[in-house]
């Protein structure tokens, strides 16, 4: 499977799911309570929901530019900074939806082979703490880009669930519904 066909649909589907979860939160709570969700955390030493949303977007965007061998645009740095400071300035649900929409739009304009570099292409990934990972493009996509993306998506889901937003497995895998054989749907 090509890296484009692996990453782009995965990122698009799950960011769409995240967007829908936030919409459900807005539908289920008074506006002020829904907005307050952005400051909620699973644990005191974890980033809040607003950061998890932004960092999921960062992971999707970074993968694009890293695999294409291009410098990150200024917008990724701004998104990271927003995320790091979201404890003090969580923004609004509208801001979060905008970040998700921007990321999905970026994914949507990629050519069908945009990320299809040689799987064994060397890739150097420096972490903010100074550690450097030496990976191949395939290792980066599989072991870092997807893992980090899903981490932030799952933390966002978990925060929403812990705040009693009515979400279930169907909300998490809504992208799978088109694959269900109609005759196998539960009756009644």
Percentage of the chain beyond pLDDT 90 is 92
- 13-57 pLDDT tens trace: 999 999 999 999 999 999 989 999 999 999 999 999 999 999 999
Residue 145 has what DSSP assignment? Answer: I
Percentage of the chain beyond pLDDT 70 is 99
Cα angle at 61 between 121 and 123, to 5 degrees? 20
Two structure tokens written together for 167: 């979400």
Could you tell me whether strands 122-126 and 132-136 are parallel, antiparallel, or unpaired per DSSP bridges?
A: antiparallel
Give the pLDDT of residue 187.
Answer: 83
Residue 2 has what DSSP assignment? Answer: -
Give the pLDDT of residue 186.
Answer: 84
- 165-171 — which CB contacts under 8 Å span 24+ positions? 165/21, 165/24, 165/25, 165/28, 165/29, 165/37, 166/24, 166/28, 167/21, 167/24, 171/17, 171/20, 171/21, 171/24
Average pLDDT, the chain: 95
Pairwise CA distance, residues 178 & 188, whole Å: 19
Give the pLDDT of residue 60.
Answer: 98
Quote the distance between the C-alpha of residue 44 and its chain's center.
Answer: 21
Q: Confirm if 140 and 123 have CB atoms less than 8 A apart.
A: yes
- Report whether pLDDT(80) > 80: yes
CB atoms within 10 A of CB 68: 12
Q: Which CATH architecture has domain 3-184?
A: Up-down Bundle (1.20)
Helix (H) or strand (E) holding 18: helix 3-28
Give the pLDDT of residue 27.
Answer: 96
Two structure tokens written together for 140: 């980066």
Give the pLDDT of residue 16.
Answer: 97
Helices (H) and strands (E) in the chain, counts: 8, 2
Coil, helix or strand for 186? coil
Q: Confirm if 20 and 156 have CB atoms less than 8 A apart.
A: no
- 116-143 pLDDT tens trace: 999 999 999 998 899 999 999 999 999 9
């Amino acid at each position: 499977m090509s890296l484009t066909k692996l990453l782009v649909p995965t990122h698009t589907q799950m960011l769409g799911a995240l967007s829908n979860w936030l919409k459900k939160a807005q539908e289920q709570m008074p506006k002020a309570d829904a907005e307050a969700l952005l400051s909620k955390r699973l644990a005191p030493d974890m980033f809040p929901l607003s950061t998890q949303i932004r960092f999921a977007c960062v992971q999707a965007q970074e993968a694009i530019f890293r695999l294409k061998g291009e410098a990150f645009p200024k917008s990724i740095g701004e998104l990271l900074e927003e995320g790091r400071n979201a404890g003090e300035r969580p923004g609004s649900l509208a801001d979060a939806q905008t970040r998700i929409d921007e990321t999905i739009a970026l994914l949507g304009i990629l050519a069908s082979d945009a990320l299809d570099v040689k799987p064994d292409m060397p890739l150097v990934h420096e972490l903010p703490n100074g550690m450097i990972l030496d990976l191949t493009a395939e290792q980066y996509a599989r072991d870092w880009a997807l893992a980090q993306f899903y981490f932030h998506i799952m933390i966002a889901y978990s925060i929403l669930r812990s705040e009693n937003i009515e979400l279930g497995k169907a909300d998490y895998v809504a992208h799978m519904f088109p694959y269900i054989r109609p005759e196998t749907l539960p009756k009644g």
